[in-house]
Amino acid sequence: MRDTDRLRGTHGRDATPFPGALVAACCVMTVLAAGCAGPAIRSQSPELEALAELEADTKLVGDYTAPWGLNGKRIERAALVTGLSDTGSDPPPGPQRQTLLADMQSRGVLEPNALLASRSTSLVWVHGYLPPGVRRGDRFDIYVEVPSDNETTSLADGWLMETRLAEMAVIGNTIRDGHELGVAEGPLLVDPVSGGTLDSKSRIRARVPGGGIALTDRDLGLILAADHRSFAMSKRLGDWINRRFHAVIKGVKRGVATPKTDRYVELEVPPIYRNNLARYVRVVQSIAVIEPPGGRHARMQLLARQLTDPVTAPVAALRLEAIGKEAIPTLREALASKDPEIRFAAAEALAYLGESIAAAHLAEASSTLRSARPAALAALGVLDDANGVDALQSLLTSRSAETRYGAFRALWRMDPELPLVRGERLGDACSMHVVDVDGPPLIHVTRSHRPEIVFFNAEHPVADGLRAEAGPSIVVVVEGDTATVTRFTPGQSDQQAEVPATADAIVRSVVGLGGTYPDAVQFLQQASAARAIQSRLAFDAVPHELDGRPTIHEEASARARDIPDEADAARASGDQDDGADEAE
């Protein structure tokens, strides 16, 4: 019998479960894939066969759909970098030069060819990725690289001029672009390291952390598989999703799912999942669409038993989270397990169900289960009560830089005004935070998300005798307990400031004298390389992000089920594909 017939309220066979066989059944169950409800091993026992039939007759949203919108959308364009110290070059003729010249002329630049020929400028190729679920005005990272046929030798000290980014395609010998989806500008941060030197390729690559601003929203949704496409199915899936999830949209509380066509369902994101879109989509796909009569109670017992096995616990916890509040008692019981992976799986689901009892278990997982650290910190970040805050603060003293900075960022996302993480804004350059906690001294610098320096511990002294540069025009000299920060500007009087010989005070002074974020980072890098600071200097000590990109197996499965890619999906939703058709 077809699934669409079941959705109309008919069932092809009696699927009455046998609860008494649940314990034995789970002993022979293997891991259940997120979109597949049936066990891989069948028993000859009639009771177990009936229970297996119950599982086979339970259909989930993921049995009919695949996610759309979880990948980053690449946008790019040729751009101009200025302010180079005689390391730029005149770009060769070609499509990139033509594109940049046309852009400069449209902006009213006088003698653009002369400007391109200057050694203080360079043509670069700029790109960024609009993250899943991005909203107009959100910031994203920018990546800058000198094309291989250019003679520029370094991008250090450069400034990326305002650049409009779009999806691009090369047709013949011409670069064609679609709609402008982002804008980028800012000082270039040539990839820093805590010690050593950069090779020639590294010198012509740079980033602008948070240097892009989105000019559009990106939607999230589900694409129906080819053999399940119909308006009735699309609406029914939306109805089941909306029974589980609601969100306040334009001041009105309503369901998160909006069926757009016979093959596309658009999803709004509840605030609690805003920083973990991949989990949100997995939970949505774990919502049951078809459950045989009386199947919910037996299925809950089955999931409870699967939650006792570390192999099946992650999927079981996800499906219990998809059930909602009704599953909380079952998940709470699993917190008493002796297995740390089972406790983590249950605690993660409980966090997204708003149960702060999970906080201590998530903090434990962050410290002891490295593979679980990103997900544990993300889950802690949604527990914005005393238990969640206390658990995150307890991690700020960890010896692991990943754990400490991950906890800081979760607290900052939760509430930037929390006294412990509030920090200060240093002009337009960066944010600086001094987190007064115990533990080994650590200075953390970001190359992504936003320009930010975090000092863990209150004291970070700089040793006597250091002479370091902070960009092309600022020099720091340390004598005893005092640091002299001097800015040299041709044709003007030198600017000078004396500050305590501590890393945070010097960074504050560098920016105060007109230095940029890359200038401040350069000082920290040179001080660390000279061993003038004993604090550990770490760059991007961030647990692996939950980016939601599909695995190879998921992509193969999508192709096998004739599920379209993002370009096709936009047409399925009834919308234009942000200029992709234009580029074609």
Assigned token pair, 328: 């909380």
Which region among 293-302, 305-314, 317-326 has the lowest average model confidence (pLDDT)? Answer: 293-302
Residue 58: predicted pLDDT = 86
Please answer whether residues 135 and 217 qualify as being in contact, where contact means their C-beta atoms are separated by less than 8 angstroms.
Answer: yes
Q: Where are the domains of the chain?
A: 15-58, 73-214, 424-539
Q: What is the spatial distance between Cα 89 and Cα 119, in angstroms, rounded to a whole number?
A: 5
Residue 248: predicted pLDDT = 79
- For residue 149, name the pLDDT band (cuts at 50, 70, 90): confident
- Asked if pLDDT for residue 285 goes beyond 50, the answer is yes
Report the range out of 8-12, 196-200, 535-539, 561-565 with the highest average pLDDT.
535-539
Which region among 20-24, 42-46, 406-410 has the lowest average model confidence (pLDDT)? Answer: 20-24
- Asked if pLDDT for residue 583 goes beyond 60, the answer is no
- Asked if pLDDT for residue 581 goes beyond 50, the answer is no
Which region among 36-40, 440-444, 471-475 has the lowest average model confidence (pLDDT)? Answer: 36-40
Q: What is the mean pLDDT of residues 75-89?
A: 93
| Residues ≥6 apart with Cβ < 8 Å to 5 | 12
Which region among 36-50, 171-185, 401-415 has the lowest average model confidence (pLDDT)? Answer: 36-50
Q: What is the mean pLDDT of residues 267-288?
A: 94
DSSP, collapsed to helix, strand or coil, labels residue 363 as helix
pLDDT in tens, 390-443: 999 999 999 999 999 999 999 999 999 999 999 999 998 999 999 999 999 999
Enter the pTM of the model.
0.80
Residue 383: predicted pLDDT = 94
Pairing of strands 252-255, 189-190: unpaired
Q: What is the spatial distance between Cα 277 and Cα 394, in angstroms, rounded to a whole number?
A: 26
pLDDT in tens, 342-360: 999 999 999 999 999 999 9
Helix ranges (DSSP H) in 328-473: 328-334, 340-352, 359-368, 373-380, 386-394, 401-414
3-class secondary structure per residue, 308-343: CCCCCHHHHHHHHHHHCHHHHHHHHHHCCCCCHHHH
Residue 39: predicted pLDDT = 43
Helix ranges (DSSP H) in 35-86: 46-57
- Asked if pLDDT for residue 23 goes beyond 90, the answer is no
Q: How far is CA 99 from CA 210, 349, 365, in A?
A: 24, 50, 51
Please answer whether residues 156 and 143 qualify as being in contact, where contact means their C-beta atoms are separated by less than 8 angstroms.
Answer: no
- For residue 474, name the pLDDT band (cuts at 50, 70, 90): very high
- Asked if pLDDT for residue 538 goes beyond 90, the answer is yes
Please answer whether residues 381 and 356 qualify as being in contact, where contact means their C-beta atoms are separated by less than 8 angstroms.
Answer: no
Higher pLDDT, 269 or 563: 269
Q: What is the mean pLDDT of residues 303-316?
A: 92
Residue 51: predicted pLDDT = 58
Q: What is the mean pLDDT of residues 84-97?
A: 91
- For residue 168, name the pLDDT band (cuts at 50, 70, 90): confident
Q: How far is CA 443 from CA 178, 423, 512, in A?
A: 42, 14, 20
Assigned token pair, 383: 């527990």
Please answer whether residues 157 and 471 qualify as being in contact, where contact means their C-beta atoms are separated by less than 8 angstroms.
Answer: yes
Residue 159: predicted pLDDT = 95
